[in-house]
Amino acid sequence: RKTPLPLGWGLVVADYREEEMDAAVILGNWFGETLSTTLIPVARVLDIVRLAAYHLPWGWRSAPRQTSFSAGENPVKFVMDEVGAVYPKIHQQWADKTGDEALAHFCRSGLAAHRVELAPEDCPYLDADGKPAKFVVRTNEMATLDVKEGCDRYGGDAYFGADWRPVAIVRKETPEQCEWWSTLVDKVYRPGDGYKWEYAKFAFRSTVFTLVTFVDHLFGLHMQTSELVMLATREQLSTDHPIRRFLIPFTFGAITINDWARTALCAYGGTTHRAFSFTDGGFARAWALAPALAFTRSN
């Protein structure tokens, strides 16, 4: 039976016993209802034994130790040896992580791929052949968010030609010799601008990482999609409904992880607030703008 708890962000966290019920449904698909309900308390006991073995002084000596890597030791090889086949196969090689080709790959096939839009036909930013830019990744909506002292503004719209060569990055910046509260104006950076172009790329990549992590992942995926699908299946579908049984493997654990995220990531002073550049006010405005930042596209 649910015991809803309002948590301030529109979440409703049900009794964790419901996750045990979901586990019973998953196991029931494999072993049958009677056996699956027996396996849950057994699994809990085994989990306690495992924790004791790792953390008690007389536990297994194979418990991991927190030590530093030795000089010349390969951290990737160490992790691969520890986890074995669980370690994912690396399909991408980033020999140059900051060049123009890397920027194109970052936007076309990497972290920003889902935010690629078609540039307007009358785009004023032209490629080397004099043709308007074909694609754009927009992040300038973040430029109005206040950041901590010593940090530069977020933002940057990156334009690419039809061949995916970078054409320009347009940032919203405070005009020179003006106070920080002045109206922001467009400043265009192009390949060949030396260190200014390199800085514009750095600012753009940093903004994309913040935007995707904070808005698309934390807000859009966890607080919206995951939470709403989980609530809809539990409130509207019975435990033996075929659609609920099909969706459970994809939503199992959503209550737990979203409850943790509410405390560790969503709150003031949490990881998100401290890891990114937002001031207290900027952090509040970022949450207020999150729905528009997550779901609004110009095309």
pLDDT mean values, one per 10 residues, the chain (299 residues): 34 41 51 54 66 58 61 82 74 82 93 94 91 95 91 94 96 74 84 94 96 93 89 87 87 85 87 91 92 67
What angle is formed at CA 83 by the lines to CA 78 and CA 89, rounded to 5 degrees?
Answer: 85
Q: Is there a contact between 72 and 78 (Cβ–Cβ < 8 Å)?
A: no
C-alpha to C-alpha distance for 179 and 91, rounded to whole angstroms: 47
pLDDT at 244: 87
Taken as a whole, the chain contains a residue count of 299
Name the β-bridge partners of 170.
Answer: 157, 188
C-alpha to C-alpha distance for 206 and 137, rounded to whole angstroms: 13
User: What is each CA distance from 140 to 143, 156, 205, 252, in whole angstroms?
Assistant: 5, 5, 12, 36
C-alpha to C-alpha distance for 106 and 94, rounded to whole angstroms: 10
C-alpha to C-alpha distance for 124 and 241, rounded to whole angstroms: 54
Helix (H) or strand (E) holding 174: none
pLDDT at 2: 36
Rounded to a whole number of angstroms, the CA Rg of the chain reads 24
C-alpha to C-alpha distance for 230 and 84, rounded to whole angstroms: 33
pLDDT at 119: 94
Q: Is there a contact between 192 and 100 (Cβ–Cβ < 8 Å)?
A: no
Whether the pTM exceeds 0.75: the reply is no
C-alpha to C-alpha distance for 142 and 151, rounded to whole angstroms: 14
Backbone dihedral angles phi then psi of residue 159, each to the nearest 5 degrees = -105, 140
Task: Tell me the one-letter amino acid at 285.
Answer: R
| DSSP symbol at 109 | T
Q: Could you tell me the end-to-end alpha-carbon distance of the chain, in angstroms, rounded to an integer?
A: 45
